[in-house]
Structure 1
Amino acid sequence: MDAREYRNCMGRFATGVTVVTCRTESGHHGLTANSFTSVSLDPPLVSVSVDRKTKAFEHMKNNAFTINILKSCQEDVAMHFAGRPKEEEPFTWIEGDHTPRLAESLAFIECAPWQEYDGGDHVLFVGEVENFAYTDDDALTYFSGKFGCLAAETQKA
């Protein structure tokens, strides 16, 4: 199977954009991820898939984390945590109740570690939701290698 073509195929699935944040020995760490999903309502669980080759993988093991769902105006934030940082950080850290999170996100979901599952070259980190909040605004989306926007008023239809 051609890995590039497989990746192109998977890119046809439109997703929201998140930054997963956690506390580390030296401060805070984050990574941009669109492989995030709700798993269960009872108990409240979410999952995120993290590449084993990333720095984030080591930081995430047995660690609490926050899923920060980004607003449409936060493309610079997504790029920063995807490894293309700006000279000046386009975000502000907030000390959450359980983990660090990003100010101005569309929503945040703070999680305690629940379980980790082998996912080939990735690991699926499942977290138990301990705190969350959200706002009504436009969402940052990702489709076919490009950022886009899902307008809040279309969500209410």
Structure 2
Amino acid sequence: MPVDPRALRRCLGHFATGVTVVTCDGDGKPHGATVNAFSAVSLDPALVLVSLDRRSKISKYLEGVPFTVNVLSEPQSEVALHFAGKPMAGAPDWRRPDPQLAPQLGGALATISCTPWRCYDGGDHVLYLGEVAGFEVAGGDPLVFYLGGFRHLGPVYQAAPWLQSGDSPGVSWFTASV
């Protein structure tokens, strides 16, 4: 059964995500793209994944080069729009704490600097896996995207709701010897 891409996109928009800007070097200058298709993959080795439209400008620079995932903070909606194609008034706040790694954006909630691991065909996207070479966390609230717009987080739960579930590795039956 054929899937209507627009209807699918609307359906997928019901999954709230954080907002990141993936940055790298290309043609002697820094580049970035707003991405919400970002995921942790592995802790050992430490791997993350970003999915980019293969037609995007940054996609031609990303293969085989270091990149940084900049997790945007709540006040950075203008930065997100800038790297999605709506230029902001000023220039991005580029930073480069390590000249061997990709540039970072100032004001980010967290930055994850990666070296290239693998890339895979993902249909109209390319899946880039990066090995984490370093990371920093600044703290604050994340920029959240849901149903085509930026949102605010609600109140914090007192405890993670899954801690008492049967799927939690901390539950005693999970760690008991067989």
One fold, TM greater than 0.5?
yes
Higher strand share: 1
Report the secondary structure of 2:88's partner residue.
coil
State the Cα distance separating 1:63 from its structure 2 match.
Answer: 1.0
| Regions of 4+ moved over 3 Å | none
Which residue pairs with 1:95 in the alignment?
A: 96
SS of the equivalent of 1:139 reads: coil
Per-residue Cα deviation, 1:85-118 (whole angstroms, up to 9, x for no partner): 12322x3100132110001100000000000011
Structure 1: gaps (5+ residues): none
In structure 2, stretches of 5+ residues that fail to align are 160-178
Which residue does 1:133 correspond to in 2?
A: 136
What SS does the aligned partner of 1:118 have?
strand
User: % of aligned pairs identical?
Assistant: 46
- Post-superposition shift, 1:28? 0.3
Match of 2:61 among 56, 59, 72: 59
- What is the letter of the counterpart of residue 93 of structure 2? T
Paired residue type of 2:35: A
RMSD between aligned alpha carbons?
Answer: 1.4
Q: Secondary structure of the residue that 2:49 maps to in structure 1?
A: strand
Deviation at 1:156, TM superposition (A): 6.7
* One-letter code aligned to 2:133: E
Q: Using the alignment, how far apart are the partners of 1:156 and 1:130 within structure 2? A: 33
Alignment of 1:6-155 (within 5 A): 6-89=8-91, 91-97=92-98, 98-150=101-153, 154=156
Scaled by the length of structure 1, what TM-score is found? Answer: 0.94
Q: Which has the larger radius of gyration?
A: 2
Distance 2:105 2:125 in 1: 24
TM-score, scaled to structure 2: 0.83
- Count, aligned residues: 155
C-alpha distance in structure 2 between counterparts of 1:15 and 1:86, whole Å: 22
